[in-house]
Structure 1
Amino acid sequence: MLSNDILRSLRYTLKANNNDMVRILALSDMESTSAGFDTWMTKEDEEGFVRCPDIILSGFLNGLIYDKRGKDPEAPELALERRVNNNTVLKKLRIAFSLKTDDIVAIMTEQKYRVSVPEVTAMMRAPDHKNYRECGDQFLRNFLRGLTHRVHHSKG
């Protein structure tokens, strides 16, 4: 999935504006402006589209973890990935929203997407592990939609 699509989806999930997005990104010691996020929120087929660099998405996801869970001053900084794939996004969202494997299965089931616990754990493994499974675009899209539903409906 494009980094832009993921950021746009997370912005909706968090009910955030561009200033909130800049603040979350800043938690990972990265800088951007509200105007920068404006260009990344533009859809691929619209005029003014600028592809969001993977390192910005990685920094935003790290900032989201710090925003949701707090920053441990004794823990090492979270690594910034120069190349972000769907598995990385899924892992970081799992951490940020304190989700367990069963929570991910439940979210996917609510989205009418059948997945088993072993399939989800395979997506959490290192790429060189023999049971590693790639997280596809359709899976991540459904997960983001389900996560949004869960976040919006858990507060009341």
Structure 2
Amino acid sequence: MNNNDILIRLRYAFDIKDNGMVEIFKLGGIEITKEEVQMMLKKSDEDEVGMACSNSMLDSFLNGFIIFKRGKQEPKPGQPEKPAVAIKSKENVNNIVLKKVKIALALTSEDILAILEEAGITITKGELGAVLRKEGHKNYKECGDRYVRNFLKGLALRYRV
């Protein structure tokens, strides 16, 4: 899954309009126009290529999504003003998406397991814990496309009424 697919699926799951997407990007610290959002969300055909969503853009969108859902949090004394970019490589994108959507929606591990179950995927609590760990931890496990795809599908089933 590429970053544009993740944006498209999140947008569908929560029924976010173009103006809402622009606002979420703005909350995440990126100024983007409605036309650029539409280009990113366009299904790319072979002859027509939309705008690619970079890792930093996706990270900013996810940070904006957290603020959109939970509100702005004032930094504590000694804490950096702006969070560091969490998506460092193509390999950890899925893990970061899972973590940040979990934070934005205030989901518990049981909620995530239930959402995956709705989408037809069964994993253990231990496997989920390994996916949610910090990269570099001895029990860290890379999250595959299949889990994120079905997690986003489960979100659409749960939140899109």
Check whether TM > 0.5.
yes
| Contact residue 134 and residue 140 of structure 2 kept, 8 A | yes
| Contact residue 54 and residue 81 of structure 1 kept, 8 A | no
Q: Secondary structure of the equivalent of 1:43?
A: coil
- Gap regions ≥5 residues in structure 1: none
CA RMSD of superposed structures (Å): 1.5
Give the equivalent residue in structure 2 for 1:56.
57
| Contact residue 22 and residue 37 of structure 2 kept, 8 A | yes
| Contact residue 130 and residue 140 of structure 2 kept, 8 A | yes
| Contact residue 107 and residue 143 of structure 1 kept, 8 A | yes
Change (3 A) 1:117 1:71: same
In the TM superposition, residue 82 of structure 1 has moved relative to its aligned partner by: 5.1
Identity of aligned residues (%): 41
Q: Secondary structure of the equivalent of 1:115?
A: coil
Q: Secondary structure of the equivalent of 1:44?
A: coil
Return the alpha-carbon distance in structure 1 between the equivalents of residues 134 and 86 of structure 2.
14
- Gap regions ≥5 residues in structure 2: none
The farther-off stretch of 41-50 and 131-140 is 41-50
Instruction: Give the TM-score, by structure 1 length.
Output: 0.91
Return the alpha-carbon distance in structure 1 between the equivalents of residues 138 and 26 of structure 2.
36
| Contact residue 87 and residue 96 of structure 2 kept, 8 A | no
Instruction: Give the TM-score, by structure 2 length.
Output: 0.88
Deviations 1:70-104 (A, max 9, x none): 11123443333353610011100000011111111
